[in-house]
Amino acid sequence: MSTSPTAPASEGRSGLFAHFGRDFTASIVVFLVAMPLCMGIAIASGVPPEKGLVTGIIGGIIVGLFAGSPLQVSGPAAGLAVIVFEFVREHGLEALGPVLLLAGVLQLVAGWAKLGGLFRAISPAVVHGMLAGIGALIVIGQFHILFDEKPLSNGVENLAAIPGRVFGLDFSSVAATEIALGLGVLTIVVMVGWEKLRPKSMALVPGALLGVVSATAVAWGMGLDVARIEVPASIGSAFALPTSTAWFAPLASPALLVTALAIAFIASAETLLSAAAVDRMHDGVRTRYDKELSAQGIGNMLCGLVGALPMTGVIVRSSANVQAGAKTRLSTIFHGIWILGFIALLPWLLREVPMASLGGVLVITGWRLVSLKHVTHLYKNHGYLPAAIWAVTFVLVVTTDLLTGVLVGLALSVVELLPHLRDIRLKVHEHDEEHGRRVELHGAATFLGLTKLNTVLERQPHGEPVHLDLERVKGMDHTTAETLAEWIARRRQGGHEDRVTGDASIMAAMRA
């Protein structure tokens, strides 16, 4: 959680280049993490790998310039791979550009209208259930890429086809399928093994990069006949600008307008969730959520205009950025420049990368999204209803589609309001006291009042103790409980001697 609406002095006083050395080295680490993920997510989305690289470039250079989250890194995200794959299969890659342009406009307007706080009030059960469902779809889809085969049209078909792939192997007569699987497994083994066994001195070397390099070296050195990624000879050809007004024709379809709205909603929710997570990793400048939302809108508009993939803020690259010691937005901008330089000068090297190797990277990426820890946490600390919301969202995302799963999950989260209807209005009062400030809550603390509550919490001063008074809170849902718990943890990590008082059941929910 953010605890101050203003940026600490480091960037504001000294400027973007105040920490040039640390940002420069961090940008190289992020570049090495981003390269295989950009290409892998493009393949998982059913589009050429250079489309993911173009999104990484725009996310680094352009969004980096306008970002409201200084250490978050933007680029193609696994969270949108499934919806893009289904869209491209049904409507073609050409229709994605105008739809993504509209999605970017919606995000830009949402940022200008200061709606960033609304996305932060989305139930964590819905968000994590959605991400887990996406992860499962990526795993069962990319499983087929390990065999040098294309994924099928939906998650159920992909899952049903897995036994046939496995039982169809014949290691007594090794052919392209078995070789491709071997390279994919090699990538996974190196990636996972390195991340478990790497020495502390090399903690910033990404396992995904080593996995892809290992598989590529084996395939090249042995001259193996497997499918490799296709990259255009010129970077210019990866940018497909509109050539006529007919380019906008897809926007006349109501179904495609709904897709644009879904992309804007999911991309915004994932971005702001990631930004909040990044804020918990460092003590520097806090995220300005509305500005970040507008920056994402600008990035997605540009991605639509050049025919690239949609983007979000992404936690894997962002956490690598923080761990590598980045201090300002300059590291994000530099990482985009490195991607641009690499594909402009060394496209021949990318053409040696086996498709199955990138499939291996995405299998691990998807598996990590399917985290059962969160649903266990929800059930243990907040009861069966949030866990049920997670489970329903997850199942529907896998068996139907992303939008259905999210909408049903959001509808179910309204059920949490029923016990609190009598006191549904939350009042938040601030008081100056002799030894600090007191924030007093009245009524039911639910996601309906979370935007107002976040605004008050974020303006609490640094260096002064805050008394969070919950004595008159009549009830609290899991979304608010987790938000308050994160805010308190953040304050205490910063050395503040804050205190919280309230009913035992409310305090127990927050301690969870």
Of 110, 109, 77, 84, nearest in space to 99 by CA: 84
DSSP state of 228: B
CB 100 within 8 Å of CB 242 = no
Give the residue extent of every domain in the chain. Answer: 20-356, 424-511
The string of pLDDT tens digits covering residues 174-197 is: 788 899 999 999 999 999 999 899
Domain at 424-511, CATH from 1.10.20.10, 3.40.50.150, 3.30.750.24, 3.30.460.20: 3.30.750.24
Q: Per-10-residue mean pLDDT for the chain, 512 residues long?
A: 39 63 89 90 91 95 94 90 90 94 96 88 88 89 91 85 89 83 96 91 87 95 92 78 87 91 91 82 83 96 95 88 88 95 89 93 88 89 93 93 88 91 91 89 93 89 89 92 87 84 81 58
pLDDT of residue 401: 82
Give the pLDDT score at 326.
87
Which pTM was predicted?
0.82
Angle at 289 between CA 393 and CA 325, to 5 degrees: 100
Select from 85, 44, 1 the least CA-distant residue to 272: 1
Is the separation of the CB atoms in 306 and 239 below 8 Å?
A: yes
Residue 232: Cβ within 10 Å count: 14
Count CB-CB contacts under 10 A for residue 223: 6
Contact 236, 385 (CB under 8 A): no
Residues 67-77: b if buried by 16+ CB within 10 A, e if exposed: bbbbbbbbbbb
Please name every residue paired with 467 in a beta bridge, in sequence order, or none if there are none.
438, 499
Report how far residue 361's alpha carbon sits from residue 351's, in angstroms, rounded to the nearest whole number. 17
Q: What three-state secondary structure class fits 431?
A: strand
Segment 281-330, tens digit of pLDDT:
777 778 899 999 999 999 999 999 999 999 999 888 888 888 888 889 99
List the beta bridge partners of residue 433: 436
Predicted confidence at residue 178, as pLDDT, reads: 92
Distances (CA, A) of 102 to 99, 241, 246, 252, 310: 5, 15, 15, 12, 11
Q: Are 165 and 143 in contact (CB under 8 A)?
A: yes
Q: Which pLDDT score, from 0 to 100, does residue 55 have?
A: 96
Angle, alpha carbons 119-105-450 (nearest 5°): 15
**What is d(CA 164, CA 283) in angstroms, rounded to the nearest whole number?**
51
- One-letter identity of residue 327: K
The radius of gyration of the chain from alpha carbons, rounded to an integer in Å, stands at 23
pLDDT of residue 14: 55
Helix/strand/coil (H/E/C) assignment for every residue in 349-362: HHCCCEHHHHHHHH
**For residues 125 and 299, what is the distance between their CA atoms, to the nearest angstrom?**
28
Amino acid residing at 81: A
pLDDT at 13: 45
First to last CA, the chain: 16
Share of the chain above pLDDT 90, in %: 50
- Measured in residues, the chain has a length of 512
Is 225 in a helix, a strand, or coil? coil
Are residues 267 and 103 in contact, defined by beta-carbon separation less than 8 angstroms? Answer: yes
Distance CA 197, CA 238 (A): 38
